Structure 1
Amino acid sequence: MRLAILSILLLTSLRVMAQKGSLTGKVTVNNNPLAYATVILNGTKHGTTTDQQGRYEIKNITPGDYLAVCSSVGHITDKIKVSITDKAPAILNIDLKESSSKLSEVVVTGVSRATELRSNPVPIVVLTKKEIDQNVNNNIIDAIVKGIPGVTAVTTGPNISKPFIRGLGYNRVLTLYDGIRQEGQQWGDEHGIEIDQYGISRAEVIKGPASLTYGSDALAGVINLIPYIPNGADGKLNGDIITDYHNNNGLVGSSLGLSYKTGDWKYAFRATGKMAHNYRNKIDGPVYNTSFQEYVLSGMTRIDKKWGYSQFIGTTYNNKQEIPDGSRDSLTRRFTVQVAEAPNDNIKNRPLASDDYLNSYGVTPLHQHIQHYRLYNKTEVKLGDGLLNTALGWQQSVRREYNHPTLPQQAGLFVTLNTLNYDLRYSPPVFAGLETSFGVNGIYQTNRSKDATDFPIPDYNLFDVGGFFFAKKTIGKTDISGGIRYDTRHITWNDFYVGANPANDFEQRISATAADARLQFPQFQHTYHGISGSLGFTYNISERLLLKANIARGYRAPNITEIGSNGLDPGAHIVYLGNRSFNPEFSLQEDLGIIAYLKDADLQVELFNNQINNYIYQSRLDDANGNPVIIVPGNTTYQYQQSKARLYGAELSFNLHPQGIKWLAFNNSLAYVVGINQNEALIKQSYGAAKYLPFIPPVHIRSEVRFKLQGKYGLFSKVYLRTEADAYTAQNHFYALNDTETATPGYTLINAGIGSTLIRKSGKPICELFLQADNLFDVAYQSNLNRLKYFEYYQASPNGRSGIYNIGRNLSFKVIVPF
């Protein structure tokens, strides 16, 4: 009898466990399939995203009544009641309405847990994959620069862009990959961000100090590049093929992405290759030594459970990038090739660059080789209503610069940077409407020189750790958030000696006891400390009208070049001289913003004022007679300076999208920043030449008219046309001391584009097409943030033009084929 009862209970339990239902359907917009829309059952763990055909399916649901919530960026969230039974799948088809408002979009950067954009008082902008795809670019940073006012980039040709936010860059802008800080020798001028542009699903940009969450190096802001996390139907291989071509520099880009989902497991893989020959403009013709070859592999494994999720991601990046130096024939202005070493190298007698060199996809012997490897884990564990998040990662950056024409296999610079990232944070359950979070994070880093001939920085060890507390609460119509953080960074290096290398007649690292040993870097040890914090509020005047204000204290410890450099960086053609007595930078920034997302338009105004103590910047070094100091022939010398500084300005965007004319949009933005050097003694001594800070962009105005055709036209759907005016005013407020910078004339570029999705009769997409023309009228211009502007060997030229100009007209074509 007892056995029979147990058997009945067991069978009953199995029957109850087996009584599960499912929900399936299709999400559309104007009867067109909507991919990547999210469908969840409110208050449960059940949810999924739609595939390329807009279809979705949620399995293993306990029967009952639920509230299904469907959302997608750029659309109005829909909530529908649905009943689930165990007899047959419930069918729910949803047609979302488009919306221009981004106020309800969820962000993850700079916050303790996922937060609606509307409630975050810190200025933050989101760039979606759709927006990234529609701006065809040479790299991911250029896409962000085009899409977000207030973000600019210092460039060295088309593939090298280092982000600046509101006039601050290098180590002040913290670049993240999936929330893990990117470490790749950020101090260098002549290489970009080692990230695959085709594998990014969205970018979140914080404008202003974000030291509270991330510690040192987030003084100017944060750019978080978030990779694509696969979703879709179980047991089905999904993916895409991307092909990209640019006619100016012949760029050919190809990328294959694959994803697979089975039960709780998700897998993804992407392989990307890009290559380009020299870019051209109508002043310089082909710009010698600006071609590149880039290859990236990435893979992901992720598991989602009731307790949370855990994911592993690995990436490898390999880039060979030529190093331009700007040498030319003095009369014809044709580029020349270095074939001898100093002191046998005569700039005036170098041979001309051949057409084979100028038009080849091959990389010349004088180039840099950048490799970056990354492996990390992110885990989120649900502890009741609280969340425990951990991140642990390792990355290695290997950087070689080959600058010896007589020994092309000998690297001038060869450094290996190893970094261990760690992050632990806990968000307790919400208590009385108060959200809190606290944690600790940082890095451990080692940098080592290998078989090189130039040593601009010493070998060093760095340990960085910081703890923070964050809180957020809503009181009536006001969202209040803020917190505090304490950081400490310890950096040390030993005596570093160099001497002659008899094998190649260059220098090498040697022991202190060698006969000709020269101490290049005396030993150093120092610990930097910093307290940062922020406090802000968002006042919801109405559902679509917000007022935001925030005040933040930022902190940044000096980087390795600022305190330790003493040598030639061959790729930059600059000898850097640091100062080991520098103090950390501290900033106090006030932000005020007004955001209005109205029926027919949206308006956003952001004002900022940033006061920085101990601001560190580069200045070209001249002697007492006003002549440039030359330590290494053919290279300039820069010495780091430190003073008080102030940056202030505004960003304005006004987008018109009348509901009565759904096919028309008129988008406008303006960015303005002024950087003032507050070293009064130096300004007086230099007769005002040092009044302004270096690397400050001029006023930037962008206006775009976009036509979005409604309905289908045979195979073509979602057709859009756009034309854009991209205008930069003259920059006459520049750091003129010792001719570190010069005035830059204004210019206006006209860009245009057209795009469409090709679909089958069934509604299944065939591919997405993007055709774009940048600098349509082939304007000859130099950006004030273009480093090549200063690559000039002569005081005068026959055509009156000095330095190298930016890229000319570029026609580009991109195809994305999903499967």
Structure 2
Amino acid sequence: MLYHWLAPPFLLVALFSCLSGHSQQISGFVLNSEGQPIEAAMVQLHPTERFAISDSRGRFAIPFSERDSISYLEVTHITYHTVHLDLSALKDLSPLRIKMTDAVTDLREVTLVQHRILEKVINNSQSIISIDRDFISRNSSGTFSAALATLPGLNTMNVGVGIAKPMIRGMGFNRILVNNRGIKQEGQQWGADHGLEIDPFDVEQVDVIKGPASLLFGSDGLGGVINIKENEPLAENGNTVEYRTMYQSNNGAISNSLEWKGRQEKWFYSVRATHQDYGDYTVPSNEFTYAGFNLPIFDNRLKNTAGSELHFSSSVGYRTKNLKSSLRFTSFNQRAGIFTGAIGLPRVYNLQHNGEFRNIDVPRQENHHHMLTSNTTLSLGRDRLEVDLGYQRNIREELSFPGAHGIAPELANSNLALGLYLDTYTANLRYEINPKPDHEILFGMQLQYMDNQNDGFEFLLPVFQSFQMGLFHYRLWDLSSKWTVNAGIRYDMGTHDIEQHLQPIYDRGTLLPTGEFDERTPAFDRRFNNLSGALGATYKMNTKNLWKLHLGNSFRFPTAIELSSNGVHHGNFRHEVGNPDLGMERGYQADVTYLHRSKGLSLEVSAFFGYYTDYIYLSPTGTFSPLASGGTLWQYRQEDALFNGFEITGSYYLPFGLKVDLGIDFVQNLNLDSSLPLPLTPPPSVQLGLEYGVLPNSKTVNNGYLFVLGRYNFEQNQTDRNERTTPDSFILNAGLGFSTRLFGQNSKFRLSANNLLDTAYFNHISRYRLLNLPEQGRNIVLSVQIPISL
């Protein structure tokens, strides 16, 4: 407890007690080919993390200490080619004049070395957003998914503040694939209360692919892919240590992450440990609704929403001119309380606090995700071979009191209501052929085997084994300096072997077993196969304007959950029943994207349309569950559906160091059988941000910026039958950031206020929306990043 009280004051003391040594500076001007100043160019001093942003006169200044070992400057700007300046060749560091040349809008120029064709096919036909560690750090509030929610077209489905999962263009669950360092992340992603089990501090580069990507990544890529890339090793021999810490005022959340990264000739390695601890969070409301009854929220604080997390990762790799191979292990561990008013039959006395705001009581989740991955790339002349191997162990346990579920407490060995244990084995193989500079060929194969076991006094999913195999072939042609096309074909087959489950029947009066059993799931197996294809094209009108087109036939096999579940899903307050007769989903989709890049302006407009046959969704049956606290009975069904929408993303650099960011997204869908929208569709939104990035530098503080960000969510009244409408809302965020010398190191600080106006608003796709619970209230976030050179 002493640590919890000392951590926030320590951060504030560190913020205002910066230590500085004898310093110098590198300064100069960034100019274009005509000698005119370039504003908002980023000038970074390597291998340190010191940087500056050029002002309206193109001027920059970067202070550094005599203790720093500096080698070169890197200058980047959205509309100019990157410039690298070797400082060791300069005799004089007096004001420099750095000239940048106009960049041609050619997506191949930003293609990374890894997965060259894979990257180029995606970049040359679909809407894709690339984000880095700095973006995630700026937008993080404790979960990786929450950092993505500021991107147009993306939303977050959450349970409180510690459990969150992404949605892309109105699609979520098993229609969004998370490709984690080459391996499809597998867990219990089918549930609204099952979060994405990834350490937010352990991600450096992410590509968000909006739209169908089943052909390249597998059936779960029907709606989009979140592609988490491998962390880059150090460029030179040596070791670095980085400490990152964050404090949040709303729930007293304290996050600490420490990473050691090193390189020795051809070997590279890293180790990271992260700990997060948070208490019950507050909302701008004093009541909520459960089963038609209004119940109180004492002191605006939701009881039993505290949590604790401990994550670990380590990697080792070997790299030569023709070979790169790495082995990585990650362990995600979380204990998260579930709001006492969200499970069972809540009573007023159960909702009162006992003064222990960081206590994690029952009901709660205990989630563990352990992952071992191997990534190897071998260059064979002009060809390349890539092999990704992975093993995942996912453990999800829900703990609750047996009496709340109609079972006598003495009959249960523990409070384990539901235990789900999933083992996943994955192998990916890609072979790249480059017969000509303008013609590239890719062959690929994916294999996956899953084994699911269960435990606990409740039942939701049976024991099952699943296998899936996919073969794909892609080609890319540069037809001219303006036209690039790509096309691919894929074949998949999959199996599900479902085991029978017999559940004891309990007497409702005595809560004792009757000796009879109910067959909740029969034994059966299903087999699927599919052939699909895709076609993409890029047309470069000129150096500033680019068009992309993607046409595809994507697919998704029904999951074992959709086929065989039969139990109360407390995460959604309903009894869910699978349908063993479900067929395969098919999607026929078109995406069009327009890109504009010019001096000071970046604009992207994307529009999409999809027609889906046999779209799988949960629908109420109109009857009540026979199970205790089961609520209504819902069953998986299939109907044809339509999706369409658009996103607009823009940035414009104004004079005096100002930058304006705009994000607009809109998605709508239609169930062609009921003529109603599908459930859990996010509302349209408009996001507008203003950043001032030329704060005056001093001996201790530099690279400062101020920002304000407003988001307006429109009313969501396009809802399915029996689904709540959600009123419109406006949320305002603001903050500042800067760099300074702390303990002799160039450290970064960020102070922000989320939901600055303490607005009571609802997230339409949040689980707690069903309880009429608003989202988290005002939250002050202070984060510090301290690199330590060794």
Matched, 1:735 2:720: yes
Question: 2:137 corresponds to which residue?
Answer: 133
Question: 1:642 corresponds to which residue?
Answer: 638
Match for residue 213 of structure 2 among 198, 207, 210:
210
Indicate the SS of the match to 1:141. helix
Deviation at 1:114, TM superposition (A): 6.2
Match for residue 768 of structure 1 among 748, 761, 766:
748
- When residues 768 and 775 of structure 1 are mapped into structure 2, their CA distance, relative to the original with a 3 A threshold, is same
Matched, 1:354 2:352: yes
Indicate the SS of the match to 2:416. coil
CA distance in 2, matches of 1:615, 1:109: 37
What are the Cα deviations for residues 136-167 of structure 1, in whole angstroms up to 9, with x where unaligned? 32211111111x21011211111222211111
Alignment of 1:386-401 (within 5 A): 386-401=383-398
Indicate the SS of the match to 1:579. coil
Match for residue 363 of structure 1 among 346, 360, 365:
360
- The answer as to whether partners of 1:103 and 1:116 remain within 8 angstroms in 2 is no
CA distance in 1, matches of 2:101, 2:634: 53
Q: Which amino acid aligns with 2:353?
A: D
- When residues 772 and 506 of structure 1 are mapped into structure 2, their CA distance, relative to the original with a 3 A threshold, is farther
Normalised by the length of structure 1, the TM-score is 0.81
Deviation at 1:100, TM superposition (A): 11
Question: 1:676 corresponds to which residue?
Answer: 670
Deviation at 1:588, TM superposition (A): 0.8
Deviation at 1:35, TM superposition (A): 5.3
Q: Which amino acid aligns with 1:470?
A: Y
Matched, 1:383 2:380: yes
What are the Cα deviations for residues 733-788 of structure 1, in whole angstroms up to 9, with x where unaligned? 0112xx1x111100000110100111489xx8521001111111111111111111
CA distance in 2, matches of 1:350, 1:398: 33
Task: Look at both structures and tell me which one has the larger radius of gyration over its CA atoms.
Answer: 1
Deviation at 1:175, TM superposition (A): 0.8
CA distance in 1, matches of 2:104, 2:576: 47
Indicate the SS of the match to 1:133. helix
Indicate the SS of the match to 1:400. strand
Question: 1:42 corresponds to which residue?
Answer: none
Matched, 1:787 2:767: yes
Deviation at 1:81, TM superposition (A): 11
- When residues 667 and 744 of structure 1 are mapped into structure 2, their CA distance, relative to the original with a 3 A threshold, is same
Matched, 1:653 2:658: no
Alignment of 1:462-477 (within 5 A): 462-476=466-480, 477=482
Question: 2:313 corresponds to which residue?
Answer: 298
- When residues 266 and 637 of structure 1 are mapped into structure 2, their CA distance, relative to the original with a 3 A threshold, is same
Question: 2:52 corresponds to which residue?
Answer: none
Deviation at 1:665, TM superposition (A): 0.3
- The answer as to whether partners of 1:107 and 1:117 remain within 8 angstroms in 2 is no
- When residues 119 and 125 of structure 1 are mapped into structure 2, their CA distance, relative to the original with a 3 A threshold, is closer
Question: 1:810 corresponds to which residue?
Answer: 779
Deviation at 1:250, TM superposition (A): 1.2
Match for residue 276 of structure 2 among 274, 277, 300:
274
Question: 2:738 corresponds to which residue?
Answer: 756
Deviation at 1:227, TM superposition (A): 4.6
Question: 1:702 corresponds to which residue?
Answer: 687
Deviation at 1:559, TM superposition (A): 1.4
- When residues 416 and 489 of structure 1 are mapped into structure 2, their CA distance, relative to the original with a 3 A threshold, is same
Deviation at 1:532, TM superposition (A): 2.2
- The answer as to whether partners of 2:105 and 2:546 remain within 8 angstroms in 1 is no
What are the Cα deviations for residues 42-96 of structure 1, in whole angstroms up to 9, with x where unaligned? xxxxxxxxx9968459xxxxxxxxxxx97868584446899xxxxxx97799968
Question: 1:715 corresponds to which residue?
Answer: 700
- The answer as to whether partners of 2:132 and 2:205 remain within 8 angstroms in 1 is yes
Deviation at 1:399, TM superposition (A): 0.8
Question: 2:19 corresponds to which residue?
Answer: none
Matched, 1:410 2:415: yes
Q: Which amino acid aligns with 2:319?
A: D
Match for residue 162 of structure 1 among 148, 160, 165:
165
Question: 1:726 corresponds to which residue?
Answer: 711
Normalised by the length of structure 2, the TM-score is 0.83
Question: 2:13 corresponds to which residue?
Answer: none
Q: Which amino acid aligns with 1:244?
A: M
CA distance in 1, matches of 2:598, 2:690: 19
649-658 vs 663-672, which moves further: 649-658
Q: Which amino acid aligns with 1:643?
A: E
Deviation at 1:356, TM superposition (A): 2.8
- When residues 590 and 553 of structure 1 are mapped into structure 2, their CA distance, relative to the original with a 3 A threshold, is same
Match for residue 250 of structure 2 among 223, 248, 251:
248
Match for residue 447 of structure 1 among 440, 448, 452:
452
Indicate the SS of the match to 1:326. helix
- The answer as to whether partners of 1:77 and 1:96 remain within 8 angstroms in 2 is no
- The answer as to whether partners of 1:110 and 1:210 remain within 8 angstroms in 2 is no
CA distance in 2, matches of 1:546, 1:117: 15
Alignment of 1:70-81 (within 5 A): 76-78=80-82
CA distance in 2, matches of 1:196, 1:33: 28
What are the Cα deviations for residues 270-319 of structure 1, in whole angstroms up to 9, with x where unaligned? 00011111111121311122211111000010110122100000001110
- When residues 175 and 663 of structure 1 are mapped into structure 2, their CA distance, relative to the original with a 3 A threshold, is same
Question: 2:147 corresponds to which residue?
Answer: 143
- The answer as to whether partners of 1:74 and 1:101 remain within 8 angstroms in 2 is no
Question: 1:545 corresponds to which residue?
Answer: 545
Question: 1:492 corresponds to which residue?
Answer: 497
What are the Cα deviations for residues 159-218 of structure 1, in whole angstroms up to 9, with x where unaligned? 222211111110000012112110011112212111000011021111111011112111
- The answer as to whether partners of 1:459 and 1:493 remain within 8 angstroms in 2 is yes
Alignment of 1:413-562 (within 5 A): 413-431=418-436, 433-450=438-455, 452-476=456-480, 477-499=482-504, 516-562=516-562
Indicate the SS of the match to 2:622. coil
Q: Which amino acid aligns with 1:539?
A: Y
Question: 1:193 corresponds to which residue?
Answer: 196
CA distance in 2, matches of 1:90, 1:673: 54
Deviation at 1:232, TM superposition (A): 4.3
CA distance in 1, matches of 2:608, 2:368: 37
Indicate the SS of the match to 1:281. coil
CA distance in 2, matches of 1:465, 1:430: 28
Deviation at 1:361, TM superposition (A): 1.3
Kindly tell me the number of residue pairs found equivalent between the two proteins.
707
Deviation at 1:351, TM superposition (A): 2.0
Higher relative CO (Cα under 8 Å, sequence separation at least 6) belongs to 2
Deviation at 1:27, TM superposition (A): 12
Indicate the SS of the match to 2:135. helix
Indicate the SS of the match to 1:790. helix
CA distance in 2, matches of 1:81, 1:130: 23
Deviation at 1:602, TM superposition (A): 1.5
Unmatched 5+ residue regions in structure 2?
Answer: 1-25, 29-40, 50-64, 287-299, 403-408
- When residues 629 and 125 of structure 1 are mapped into structure 2, their CA distance, relative to the original with a 3 A threshold, is same
CA distance in 1, matches of 2:302, 2:745: 40
CA distance in 2, matches of 1:464, 1:583: 16
- The answer as to whether partners of 1:595 and 1:603 remain within 8 angstroms in 2 is yes
CA distance in 1, matches of 2:574, 2:394: 21
What are the Cα deviations for residues 445-465 of structure 1, in whole angstroms up to 9, with x where unaligned? 100113x11121111111100
Deviation at 1:608, TM superposition (A): 0.6
- When residues 30 and 629 of structure 1 are mapped into structure 2, their CA distance, relative to the original with a 3 A threshold, is closer
Deviation at 1:533, TM superposition (A): 1.8
- When residues 487 and 246 of structure 1 are mapped into structure 2, their CA distance, relative to the original with a 3 A threshold, is same
Question: 1:341 corresponds to which residue?
Answer: none
109-118 vs 408-417, which moves further: 109-118
Deviation at 1:516, TM superposition (A): 3.2
Deviation at 1:500, TM superposition (A): 5.8
